[in-house]
Amino acid sequence: MDDLLREFLTETSESLDVADGELLRLETDPNNRDILNNIFRLVHTIKGTCGFIGLARLARLAHAAETLMDEFRNGRPVKSGAVDLILRTIDRIKLILAEIERTDGVEPPGADEDLITALEAEAAQETVEEEVVAPPLAAAMPAPVETASAAGTLERELLPGEVPLDELERMFRETAVEARPKAVPAPAPALAPKAAEGEPAAAGHDPAAAAAQTIRVNVSVLEHLMTMVSELVLTRNQLMEISRRNEDSEYKSPLQRLSTVTGELQEAVMRTRMQPIGNAWQKLPRIVRDLAHELGKHIELEQHGAETELDRQLLDQIKDPLTHMVRNSADHGLEMPAARRAAGKPEKGTIRLAAYHEGGHVIVEIADDGRGLDVSRIKAKAVENGLCTEADAARMTDAQAFRFIFQAGFSTAQQVTSVSGRGVGMDVVRCNIEAIGGTVDVRSKRGEGTTFTIKIPLTLAIVPALIVESTGERFALPQTSVVELVRVRGDSEHSLSFIKHAHVLRLRDRLLPILDLGSVMGLSCHWGERPEGELIVVMQVGSQRFGVVVDSVSHTEEIVVKPLASVLRGISLVSGSTILGDGRVIMIIDPNGLSQVAASRSDKTGEATKSEADAAKNADSNRMSLLLCRAGAEGLKAVPLALVTRLEELDAEDVERLSDRCVAQYRGTLIPILYANDEVERKTSGKQPLLIFSEGERTMGLVVDQIVDIVETAFELKLSSTSPDIMGGAIINGTATEVLDVAHFVQRAFGESFDIPVGHGHERNGRLLLVDDNAFHRAMLEPVLKGNGYAVTTCTSASEALEKLSGDARFDAVVSEVDLRGLDGIGFAERVRSELHMENLPIIAIATGGDADSIERGRMAGFTDYVAKFDRNGLLAALREFAVHEDEEKAA
Amino acid sequence: MSTAAANVEGRSDAHQYVTVRVGGQLFGLPISSVNEVFVPDRITPVPLASREIDGVLNLRGRIVTMIDMRRLLGLSDGTLARMAVGIERTGEAFALLIDGVGDVLLLDPSTYESNPPNLEEEWTQFAEGVHRLETELLVVLDVERVLATVGGVRSAA
């Protein structure tokens, strides 16, 4: 491809982008002659150049568009349909250009008669208004180019029209002001797009002045400049090192000067890589306009801070994520006009783009004033997709729940539209942004809108990195992915374990997969050869955390990233290279690549642990997470973790006494505060740990002395307690621990009466299926049942329970809530009896109400027995009666 | 300059070659493709790269990818101190690691012959042809082919 053609291609595509934007402005502001002239000139230039280079197809297309544009210039009202047509023409031109670029200068065959005919037909439509609104002042405006069509313009504009006087005056005023910049038109049409390219948005600026201040420089020249400057920085570093060694050096002060100048030079060169973020936004108005048409919504796109600069390379990489997010906002975020009106909002939805600098980062916000995210739907979807349990979901804050939308395959859109809703997208957005070391977050308020915040580094060219050594080679680990450094010795609290061949690190109750940097790099492995213990860099990519074993860690440094040759780019573990202060090249490790290795290994680890865990589970399904705390002097107290909504610190001064009860402000409401027992210290100042329990609308706090730990353990509850606030005792991790009875505290706090089961000794074993869609109730019943020796499987819905039952017939009894969402308990019982043919399986209903009528209906449906919701003694009695374990039955 | 070259000096269809030695064999590189000759220092190995890529080094601020010609040609690793010939291709810097650099020769097409048919395939893919010199044979190295062949990623160990 020759230079002329290449130049033409770059210039034309830039002109077209500008024309795109200008056309949209024209649509909203049809009387603006400036915009119109600008577009006309752009299209005309394209036509002229095409003819000159010999691209006949393009020239014809551009000519047809120009003819229509000319009609507008002659005063014809600008209509949406015509603008559409021109936009489509511009799209076609872009297509042809892309093809030319691909084929090295050959215009692709094909006809554009469809568009040309449409354009000509549109142009030929003589309308009355055309005559009427002929702008009388147009003659005063210099025709930018001397063409036949432009000459025609002059003649027509002189036509007299029946224009009302005030209308005429208005036009006088407008054109007089706006025509002024045009009085200094670019001397040659070919220069105009160049001028416009520098500042596409600055239509009001003097184009000639803009042209003088910007020049087009080849990117490779800048890259070369950058390389040379980094080399200069290295040389300076070496010189500084030498001068440090020679104290009395007379070079000292000139060296200092050299050093300063070099630093400034580096900064200036870095700036040449910077571009306004507006360049990445250029296409968005058009996308939003098209989307608005397609979806039948009214959307306004606001742009703030388009001049915020960031690295050219980053600009390219955030373009796609940004486009996707704006699409998302337009499609999911904003409501239909009718819905907006109903919600008391203006019909026109707004998408607001904003960019600004903040502490070495660029922040980009995409905000809409639409319906906001639906927390409950996200949570339900997360549970459905198995991303969290219902108990987790209930405890989760809104912000935590919102983060699920960045998970792969997660879409809450009820229907798939052509625009979005397929569940791919936000995870890709997150990946793309994380790949460049950025983060993305979301805030939302129901009914008021959603705001996505993207935080990206200013540049990728220089990144902070941790320099580590493994098997004699140094490597750079990007600091953004490094979480902490851990040294593991035989006697330290964190320890390395093996599961088959997989190494894992136990770090504060989390298992992390471990990689040896030397061995994944194909060098060699030094496992266990380091007497001083293993040095582990804990890294995090996305939500995945893993450890990397290295020989030593030297320091952190701002490194200049240099790409590797293309033949080396296939190596997933290496993202580039850099030159250290001593002139040596080292490899930059790609954390994403490492995390993939870790993931593939941890999958294997996962499988291994899973089968072991399964075995353990089968042997003992009494495992539960317990929160261990201290309350009073003697021993530990435990609370089933599933019952605890949140852990807080209670400021003693916040506690108020109302008659004989304590209350405290918590999240805007007063909640009752109880002390775990009489021995818990009633502090008068300072803070005390507080366990928050919530059940539906009711929330209470329980004060303890100290939170000790969270353990997952098997325990056998001995229901022999002397005090009503203790459910029973158990041996947990070798220590006698009392399990607090949360239900008792809830009862005390709210004064509701329900019976507390008193110890009945240890019961027989049986397998129970517990069906309840209320997480709190499940969590309250489960420990009681487990404590009584039953193996409990929990289900959150009747359909899940049916599935479990049909897959596994070995349950001894079912305990089911009657009032279930979806299929209720009665329907569930009917289906168990009729479809699964489990006529003899005891099903015990738990009901809040319990009038004679519904009990009868329940019995008809197949319930074996009825127990009131909080009657745990009754439940245990019913279970003893009906759910006799098969073995014992046989024995009996 | 050798006598063979002197005879044909000034003739327009003659080609100039930078001669290098790899494992005892004389090779010629078209002089237009050679940027510079340097002594490689402190090469950093690139983990998981293909075998013939010896590593990368810093040459005046540029990252140069080093190609080990002995390995590429299927020869055993040498013990001699090595030299490197810098080559540029599509904006990227490469260098061929060789045993030593000789004269620049101006060779006449009359001494040129295509590859002998019994030359091993390992070599024919990089050899454009052969020049008959007085004392030995010079294999013309196809630099484009050499650079196009390297690459490929070794799977993780």
Chain A residues near residue B60 by CB distance under 8 angstroms: 231
Does B51 lie at the interface with A, CB-CB under 8 angstroms?
Answer: no
Sheet holding A473-478, edge to edge: A552-560, A462-470, A473-478, A585-589, A574-579
Please name the residues between 680 and 709 in chain A that touch chain B, using a CB distance below 8 Å: none
Q: Which residue of A has its CA nearest to B60?
A: A231
Q: List phi, psi (to 5°) of A209.
A: -65, -40
Q: How far is A56 from chain B (nearest CA, A)?
A: 33
Per the DSSP assignment, residues forming a β-bridge with A860 are: none
Residue of chain B whose Cα is closest to the Cα of A570: B153
Q: Inform me whether the C-beta atom of residue A751 falls under 8 Å from chain B C-beta atoms.
A: no
pLDDT of residue B56: 92
SS3 track for A120-184: HHHHHCCCHHHHHCCCCCHHHCCCCCCCHHHHHHHHHHCCCCCCCHHHHHHHHHHHHHHHCHHHC
Q: Rounded distance, CA B20 to CA B97, Å?
A: 10
Chain B: residue whose CA lies nearest to A232: B61
Taking CA–CA distances from A525, the nearest residue in chain B reads B157
Say yes or no: A293 and A410 in one domain.
yes
Chain A residue numbers with beta carbons less than 8 Å from the beta carbon of B53 are 567-568
What is the DSSP secondary-structure string of A600-661?
Answer: HHHHHHHHHHHHHHHHHHHH---EEEEEEEE-SSSSEEEEEGGG--EEEEEEGGGEEEETTE
- Residue B45 touches partner A, C-beta closer than 8 Å: yes
* A539 to chain B, closest Cα gap in Å: 20
Distance of alpha carbon A344 from alpha carbon A347, whole angstroms: 9
* Cβ neighbours of A234 in B, within 8 Å: 61
Question: Is A587–B48 a contact, with Cβ atoms under 8 angstroms apart?
Answer: no
Both A299 and A445 in one domain: the answer is yes
For residues A164 and A36, state if they share a domain: yes
Residue A422 tokens, joined:
């397929």
Q: Do A585 and B56 touch (CB under 8 A)?
A: yes
Residue A560's closest chain B neighbor by CA? B61
User: In which residue ranges of chain A is pLDDT below 70?
Assistant: 1-2, 126-212, 359-360, 408-425, 460-461, 490-494, 498-502, 524-532, 600-624, 633, 695-697, 714-722, 751-765, 775-776, 779, 787, 809, 848-852, 869-872, 883-892
Name the residue of chain A whose CA is nearest to B148's CA.
Answer: A567
Cβ–Cβ gap A571/B153 under 8 Å: yes
Q: Does A231 touch chain B (CB under 8 A)?
A: yes
> What is the pLDDT at residue A762?
43
- Cβ of A567 within 8 Å of Cβ of B65? The answer is yes
What integer pLDDT is reported at residue A525 of this predicted model?
60
Q: Does B53 touch chain A (CB under 8 A)?
A: yes
Residue of B46, B60, B149, B153 best to disrupt the A interface, most CBs of A under 10 A: B46
Domain assignment present for residue A613? The answer is no
Residue A141 in contact with partner chain B when CB distance is under 8 A? no
Of A716, A750, A784, which one is at a domain's C-terminal end?
A750
Q: How many domains does chain A have?
A: 6
Residue A713 in domain: yes
Of A688, A716, A750, the residue that ends a domain is A750
Q: Is residue A518 part of a domain?
A: yes
Contact list, B157 vs chain A (CB under 8 Å):
519-520, 522
Same-domain pairing of A153 and A229: no
* Residue A725 CA from chain centroid, whole number: 44
User: What per-residue confidence (pLDDT) applies to B28?
Assistant: 92
Which whole-number Å values give the CA distances from A118 to A289, A369, A405, A870, in the listed order?
21, 38, 44, 76
CB distance from A581 to chain B under 8 Å?
Answer: no
**Cα A253 to Cα A810: distance, rounded to the nearest angstrom:** 87
Query: Given CB atoms, is B58 within the 8 Å cutoff of chain A?
Result: yes
Instruction: Please report the pLDDT score of residue B85 as a whole number.
Output: 93
Contact: A573, B48; criterion CB under 8 Å? yes
Cβ-based contacts of A230 with chain B (< 8 Å): 61
Joined tokens for residue A242: 């030498």
Q: Counting beta carbons within 10 angstroms of the beta carbon of residue A514, is it exposed (0 to 12), middle (13 to 18) or buried (19 or more)?
A: buried
Q: Which of B49, B61, B150 sits opposite A228 (nearest CB)?
A: B61
Of B64, B137, B119, B123, nearest to B94 (Cα)? B64
Q: What residues in A contact B49, CB-CB < 8 Å?
A: 568, 571
* Chain A positions in Cβ-Cβ contact with residue B63 (cut-off 8 Å): 562-565, 577, 579, 585
| Residue appearing with tokens 């200068």 | A105
Same domain, A341 and A406: yes
pLDDT of residue B92: 84
B48·A521 Cβ contact <8 A: yes
Reading the block at residue A727, the tokens are: 């459910």
Looking at residue A809, its pLDDT comes to 66
- List chain A residues with CB under 8 Å of B44: 473, 577, 584-587
Determine whether the interchain pair B63/A577 forms a contact, defined as Cβ–Cβ distance below 8 Å: yes
Q: Is residue A761 part of a domain?
A: no
Number of Cβ within 10 Å of residue A238's Cβ equals 13
**B49 vs A227, A571, A579: nearest CB:** A571
- CATH number of the CATH domain containing A376: 3.30.565.10
User: Cβ separation of B152 and A570 shorter than 8 Å?
Assistant: yes
What residues have CB less than 8 Å from A592, skipping those under 6 apart? A435, A541, A572
Structural domain contains residue A63: yes
Q: With an 8 Å Cβ cutoff, is B62 touching chain A?
A: yes
Both A405 and A526 in a single domain? no
CB neighbourhood size of A308 (10 A): 19
- Choosing from A439, A457, A475, the residue where a domain stops is A457
Is A584 near chain B, with CB under 8 Å?
yes
Assign residue A248 the CATH number of its domain: 1.10.287
In a shared domain, residues A32 and A102:
yes
Give residues with Cβ within 8 angstroms of A669, minimum separation 6: A699
The larger pLDDT score, comparing residue B101 to residue A785, is at B101
State the pLDDT at residue A730. 74
Q: Which domains does chain B have, with CATH numbers?
A: 3-146 (2.40.50.180)
Q: Indicate if A269 and A282 belong to the same structural domain.
A: no
d(CA A377, CA A329): 18
Best of A585, A588, A589 to mutate (most B CBs within 10 Å, chain B): A585
- Tell me what pLDDT residue A157 has: 41
Q: Chain B: residue nearest A234 by CA?
A: B61
- Write out chain A residues lying below 8 Å of B96, CB-based: none
Residues of B in contact with A563 (CB under 8 A): 63
Based on the fold, state whether residues A773 and A658 are members of the same structural domain: no
* Domain enclosing residue A854, as ranges: 766-891
How far is it, in rounded angstroms, from Cα B78 to Cα B23? Answer: 7
Q: Do B48 and A574 touch (CB under 8 A)?
A: yes
* Inter-chain residue contact A522 with B94, CB threshold 8 Å: no
Of B48, B90, B94, the CB nearest to A571: B48
CATH number of the domain at A638, please.
2.40.50.180
- In chain B, the residue whose alpha carbon lies closest to the alpha carbon of A578 is B63
- Whether A260 maps to a domain, the answer reads yes
The beta-carbon neighbor of A565 closest among B58, B65, B154 is B65
Nearest CA in chain B to A564: B63
Q: How many CB atoms lie within 10 A of CB A535?
A: 20
A83 and A146 in a common domain: yes
**By the 8 A CB rule, do A460 and A437 touch?**
yes
Nearest to B92 by CA among B142, B32, B148, B31: B148
Is A600 a domain residue?
yes
How much is the ipTM here? Answer: 0.81
Q: Residue A476's pLDDT is what?
A: 92
Q: Which residues of B touch A476 (CB under 8 A)?
A: none
B4 touches chain A (CB under 8 A): no
For residue A472, what are its two tokens?
């004699």
Say whether residue B80 is in contact with chain A using an 8 A CB cutoff. no
- Same domain, yes or no, for A182 and A328? no
CB contacts, 8 Å: A561 with chain B? none
Q: How far apart are CA A810 and CA A762, in angstroms?
A: 22
Domain contains A487: yes
- At A263, give phi and psi (nearest 5°): -60, -45
> For chain B, what is the total number of helices (H) and then of strands (E)?
4, 11
Whether residue A634 sits in one domain with residue A526: no
